[in-house]
Amino acid sequence: MEYQCDWIDAFTDRAFGGNGCAVVHDALDLGDDQCCAFVRETSLTECTFVGTSETADFRVRYFLAGGEIPFAGHPTLATVLSLLHRGKLSSSRITLETGAGIIPIEIDQSFGHPRVIMTQIAPDFGPKVDPANIAAIGGIDADDIIATPQIVSTGLPFCIAVVKSHDVLRRVTLQPKPLAAFQKAGAAIGVMEPFWVTLQGVTEIGDTFSRLLMAPPNPTEDPFTGSATGAMAAYLWRYALIEDRNFIAEQGHWLGRPGQAQVQVLGAQKQIAGVRIAGTGHVLMSGALML
């Protein structure tokens, strides 16, 4: 079988920036094992598999090397840009059916690079976590974390951990045993690895800078994480750790893959209705997948 596919670098305006995602079209017939094998073959964090939907304009399935997840941010942006690249979009407003619900999408082509704006679902604020437990996962001290970590989801659950400086962020190193214990305790909700955040951009226009370290069989670090950025934005706004609900999130610069997103939290601090994440991307490769 032959499937058309594109490799998109998301949350960047150039080749080899941001975070890559391979988008495979008309591929909802593929089995989970085939999808996971393809992700492993690419060495990417995630790939998407797109097809028709009865409830939205398109249905998207998201896969890590180890299995399917309900939603992911940079693959959503990549999927929309791939659909646009292949001339499959007839409107600047579409919807995607995902495992986390229907995701509204807007496409702004008024600039040089099309900008995709996704509205992630209203956040679910889950359990708060002892800072010492999260610090142990990152190999740092508990007092390096400036606010109580909490599991938050705008489609995919992450534990948001705000650290006090870039120096601390550089020192974060994933510790397998504490991570395994944390994820075993959160297995019922499928919690991902902690998302480490600083309240200072890495460039002069950035407002936050983050890292997501990942466990095997995934790559060791994700260059840009749109779903975690949505959860992080909701957390920062709810607890007044940011003054403006509109800000610039940065990630990936220390990997040589700088990524940037424009973020807007919707609603009051205690009544957040969703999070808008916007970014551009670059079509790196197009071709056919032979299976």
At 54, which CATH number?
3.10.310.10
Looking up tokens 């060791």 gives 220
Q: What is the mean pLDDT of the chain?
A: 97
Query: Taking 90 as the threshold, does the pLDDT of residue 152 lie above it?
Result: yes
- Domain of residue 87: give its range: 2-119+280-290
Domain count, the chain: 2
Query: Same structural domain for residues 62 and 133?
Result: no
Query: Same structural domain for residues 34 and 115?
Result: yes
Query: Same structural domain for residues 194 and 233?
Result: yes
Closest CA to 215 of 179, 182, 189: 179
Query: Taking 90 as the threshold, does the pLDDT of residue 253 lie above it?
Result: yes
Tens-digit pLDDT profile for residues 199-247:
999 999 999 999 999 999 999 999 999 999 999 999 999 999 999 999 9
Distance CA 208, CA 194 (A): 16
Q: Are 24 and 46 in contact (CB under 8 A)?
A: no
Query: Same structural domain for residues 284 and 207?
Result: no
Query: Same structural domain for residues 108 and 158?
Result: no
Query: Same structural domain for residues 130 and 253?
Result: yes
So what's the pLDDT on residue 117? 98
Query: Same structural domain for residues 232 and 105?
Result: no
